[in-house]
A and B are shown apart, each in its own frame.
Chain A
Amino acid sequence: MDRSGWRPPLAVLVMVGLVLLVVTVLVTVTIGPAEIAVPDVARSIAGHLGLGDAGVPRLVDAIVWDLRLPRVLTAAAVGAGLALAGAVMQSLTRNALADPYLLGLSSGASLGAVAVLILGVGLLLPVAAFAGALVALVATLALARTHGVLTPGRAVLAGLAVSQLCAAGTSFVIFWTATGDSYREIISWLMGSLAGTTWSSVAISGVALLLVGAVLLASAVRLDAFAFGDTSAAALGIDVERTRWTLMTLVALLTGAMVAVSGAIGFIGLVLPHAVSVVTGPAHRRLLPVAALAGAVFLIWADTAARTVFDPRELPVGIITALVGVPVFAVLLRRGRGAAWS
């Protein structure tokens, strides 16, 4: 059914992805300074879900349920959300390099988040991050558009400029207001970090992922229609302007929610969709769910490495994703698929 002859059925890919995700969650929760076994993790979770008596020591239960599980689940939601955001942006802008991080959305969201943090209204954090992402998106597109045409090369350059400006703004706000270790704080917003995540992080990122993700999945066919550009999509019966702005706003919303709980983690949105499309092919009905699952699994492992490899010191997880992502970025650039990169 395609040029490589055979692509696995979507149901198989999703099942494999789900099994991998569950195994990843159970295994990574055991990894850390305190040795915990997988059965203890399962029993602790079962206990909290009301599925029988926990029977695990209280300290173990607290480590699993209060510390590690929220962090692992937040990583899963953020990884899935960023992978979806990248896949959708790449299709809407017809730019293989479009992702929320490179287009400046993530740093815009960080700036929005730290701006309300200094006001001390934690509840507004995701809203402010969304607003920051949206402003950054509009600024990038306004800079990149020439005569109404969005050229891929300009989009990335404009995103770079917006991203740098927002990063400088974020650093300045934190430097000006932080009382303690401001550099650690700056790094965790600009490079991304899942340290200190709680169940409310899980709620923010999880709800955003489920709501926005459902709409994006329902838009899969319309995203396919953009393969040959706007006119071609319009001729196939798509309302091009409405679809583009609705979906871009949703991507900004998703990015804002993810950045609000984890800072600006780069390269997931860039790399995962490309890697996954090798297996799924480019049809979004197949690509989007698999990219989300892959993003979740990838970020959980990246974050597990970030918190354990240099134990007791913790790396910002963005360093890990960049270490994996930049080589892939380089390969994409070298392969340069013709006009799209000019």
Chain B
Amino acid sequence: MELTIDGVRTRLGGRWVVDGIDATPPTGALTGLLGPNGSGKTTLLRLIAGLLTPEGGAVLVGRADPDPAAAPVPVHTLGRRARARRIALLEQESASTVPLSVREVVALGRIPYRTLWGADPDDGAVDRALDNARATHLADRAWSDLSGGERQRVHIARALAQEPDLLLLDEPTNHLDVSAQLSVLAFVRGLPTTTVAALHDLNLAATFCDHVLVLSDGHLAAAGDPREVLRPDLIRAVYGVDCDVLTHPRTGRPVIAFAAQEPARDTSHSRETTLEDAR
């Protein structure tokens, strides 16, 4: 699904957390949303998901009908159910105290399709989602007994059960061991949906993303192919860390090697300046 972020801005608690972002994540590809803590990644994801209404600008999504002439519509004007059938959001550290089985967790993704009495018009959807997420073998396990990587896989199956055109993931690799991180992102990259994932790990973004958006203090600091965007000067300006960018000998993807350094004591003023330099 086509997605256009058109000058969105919104405040939380008086602060402009997302302050005028324009971007066009490529359709059907994996876009990484990067930036330090507090740079506005989660809020931007919520704006894209239509859970927050922007104070300015709009997030535009392509219409569901395939008419190429149809104009995109602002996501916050879609009805709740219609939106939930097209956009799935997996939030960070999604946990539950309800004793659910894996199949029941995945079935939650069918809620936007259910009738008032809970019937699902598509009986096979849960099985297909489990299968697509390669989680069928987990179907009858208790959700609470799963490992972190398995839980994330089940959450992705739940999102796929919504049959979304647009998949939004907030830190999908958080607290996962390295093998689970790699397999989750490799899987997500293989999906045909347009996907936007907030990521902390720059090397994972460099390895898997087709496109990255780098946020800094609610602004878009850079956007584009990670091989072009993730340069030492930009990383220094946005994250305040020193690094070199190498090339992986086998994959050719960028590898960011961080250098130990004195704790950064940049004031916000000098940080703005270096960001300007980086541009």
What residues of chain A have their CB less than 8 Å away from a CB belonging to chain B?
1-3, 5, 91, 94, 96, 218, 220-222, 224-225, 227-229, 231-232, 234-239, 277, 281-283, 285, 337-340
* Interface stretch (choices B3-11, B61-69, B92-100): B92-100
A3 to chain B, nearest CB (A): 5
Contact among B51, B81, B109 for A231, CB-based, below 8 A? B51
What residues of chain B have their CB less than 8 Å away from a CB belonging to chain A?
46, 49, 51, 80-85, 87-89, 91, 94-101, 103-105, 108-109, 111-112, 114, 116-118, 140-142, 144, 162
Specify which of B49, B105, B108, B162 lies most central, judged by the most chain A CB atoms within 10 Å of its CB.
Answer: B108
Contact among A91, A235, A340 for B89, CB-based, below 8 A? A235
Closest residue on chain B to residue A338 by CB atoms? B97
A224 to chain B, nearest CB (A): 6
Specify which of A2, A220, A235 lies most central, judged by the most chain B CB atoms within 10 Å of its CB.
Answer: A235
**Do A2 and B112 touch (CB < 8 A)?**
no
Contacts of B109 in A (CB 8 A): 236
Contacts of B94 in A (CB 8 A): 228-229, 232
**Do B111 and A2 touch (CB < 8 A)?**
no
A236 to chain B, nearest CB (A): 5
Specify which of B85, B95, B97, B116 lies most central, judged by the most chain A CB atoms within 10 Å of its CB.
Answer: B97
Measured in the bound complex, the distance between the Cα atoms of B96 and A313 in whole Å is: 46
Contacts of A224 in B (CB 8 A): 108, 111
Contacts of A237 in B (CB 8 A): 80-85, 111-112
Measured in the bound complex, the distance between the Cα atoms of B209 and A130 in whole Å is: 55
Closest residue on chain B to residue A234 by CB atoms? B51
**Do A228 and B95 touch (CB < 8 A)?**
yes
Measured in the bound complex, the distance between the Cα atoms of B108 and A222 in whole Å is: 10
Measured in the bound complex, the distance between the Cα atoms of B82 and A236 in whole Å is: 10
B96 to chain A, nearest CB (A): 5
Given the contacts A2-B104, A3-B140, A282-B98, A235 and B118 also touching, CB distance less than 8 Å? no
Q: Nearest 9 CB-CB pairs, A to B?
A: A237-B84, A340-B97, A235-B89, A237-B80, A237-B81, A285-B118, A2-B101, A237-B112, A236-B111
**Do B112 and A236 touch (CB < 8 A)?**
yes
**Do A339 and B95 touch (CB < 8 A)?**
yes
Contact among A3, A96, A285, A337 for B141, CB-based, below 8 A? A3
B48 to chain A, nearest CB (A): 11
Contacts of A94 in B (CB 8 A): 96-98
Measured in the bound complex, the distance between the Cα atoms of B95 and A338 in whole Å is: 10
**Do A221 and B104 touch (CB < 8 A)?**
no
Closest residue on chain A to residue B115 by CB atoms? A221
**Do A96 and B97 touch (CB < 8 A)?**
yes
B43 to chain A, nearest CB (A): 12
Measured in the bound complex, the distance between the Cα atoms of B112 and A20 in whole Å is: 36
Contacts of A238 in B (CB 8 A): 80, 111
Measured in the bound complex, the distance between the Cα atoms of B98 and A94 in whole Å is: 8
Q: 6 more A-B contacts (CB under 8 A) besides A1-B101, A225-B108, A235-B88?
A: A231-B46, A234-B51, A235-B89, A236-B84, A282-B99, A285-B117
Contacts of B98 in A (CB 8 A): 91, 94, 227, 282
Closest residue on chain A to residue B140 by CB atoms? A3
A–B pairs, 21, beta carbons within 8 Å = A1-B103, A2-B140, A3-B101, A3-B141, A96-B97, A218-B116, A218-B117, A220-B118, A227-B100, A227-B108, A228-B95, A229-B96, A232-B89, A232-B94, A232-B108, A234-B51, A236-B109, A236-B111, A236-B112, A237-B80, A285-B118
Specify which of B80, B82, B103 lies most central, judged by the most chain A CB atoms within 10 Å of its CB.
Answer: B80
Contacts of B89 in A (CB 8 A): 231-232, 235
Given the contacts A232-B94, A236-B162, A277-B99, A282 and B104 also touching, CB distance less than 8 Å? yes
Measured in the bound complex, the distance between the Cα atoms of B116 and A339 in whole Å is: 32
A203 to chain B, nearest CB (A): 28
Measured in the bound complex, the distance between the Cα atoms of B81 and A102 in whole Å is: 35
**Do B84 and A221 touch (CB < 8 A)?**
no
Contacts of B101 in A (CB 8 A): 1-3, 281
Measured in the bound complex, the distance between the Cα atoms of B236 and A227 in whole Å is: 41
Measured in the bound complex, the distance between the Cα atoms of B51 and A231 in whole Å is: 8
**Do A228 and B96 touch (CB < 8 A)?**
yes
Contact among B96, B114, B142 for A221, CB-based, below 8 A? B114
Contacts of B87 in A (CB 8 A): 235
Contacts of A225 in B (CB 8 A): 108, 111
Contacts of B51 in A (CB 8 A): 231, 234-235
A222 to chain B, nearest CB (A): 8
Closest residue on chain B to residue A218 by CB atoms? B116
Measured in the bound complex, the distance between the Cα atoms of B260 and A326 in whole Å is: 57
Contact among A229, A239, A283 for B104, CB-based, below 8 A? A283
Contacts of A285 in B (CB 8 A): 117-118
Contacts of A277 in B (CB 8 A): 99
Closest residue on chain B to residue A226 by CB atoms? B98
Contacts of A231 in B (CB 8 A): 46, 51, 89, 91
Measured in the bound complex, the distance between the Cα atoms of B108 and A282 in whole Å is: 12
Contacts of A1 in B (CB 8 A): 101, 103, 140
Measured in the bound complex, the distance between the Cα atoms of B95 and A238 in whole Å is: 18
